[in-house]
Amino acid sequence: MKKHGLLFLLVVAALTLGSLALWARPGSIKCPIDGEYMFFDRQVGYGHDAVCWYSHMATVQNPGGQGVSRVKHEAYVPCGD
C-alpha cells in the first residue's frame, strides 16, 4: 500500500512541475514584423537569463513582384524561470 501512495505523490509532483513550466512562458506572442501569432520554438539559457524564441512561417512578396516566398520570422523575449 505504501508503494501506491508514493507513486501517486510522484505523479502529482511531476504534473505540478510540468504545469508550472508551461505557465512560466507564454505559448505565443505577436510577430513584430507582421503582427501574426508566433508560437514557442525553444528556450535558451536558464534562470533569470533565459530567453524564449518564437517563430512562424510567413508568405512574402518577392522583390520586383516575381512571385512569393515562404520565410521564417523569429523573435525572442526574456522568459526567466
15-61 tens-digit pLDDT: 666 555 555 677 889 999 999 999 999 999 988 888 999 999 999 88
Q: Contact 61/68 with Cβ under 8 angstroms?
A: yes
d(CA 5, CA 8): 5
Cell 512560466 maps to which residue? 24
Note down the domain range covering 28.
2-78
d(CA 77, CA 20): 18
d(CA 36, CA 51): 20
Question: What's the number of domains the chain is made of?
Answer: 1
Q: Which of 16, 18, 32 is nearest to 73 (CA)?
A: 32
**pLDDT above 80 for 7:** no
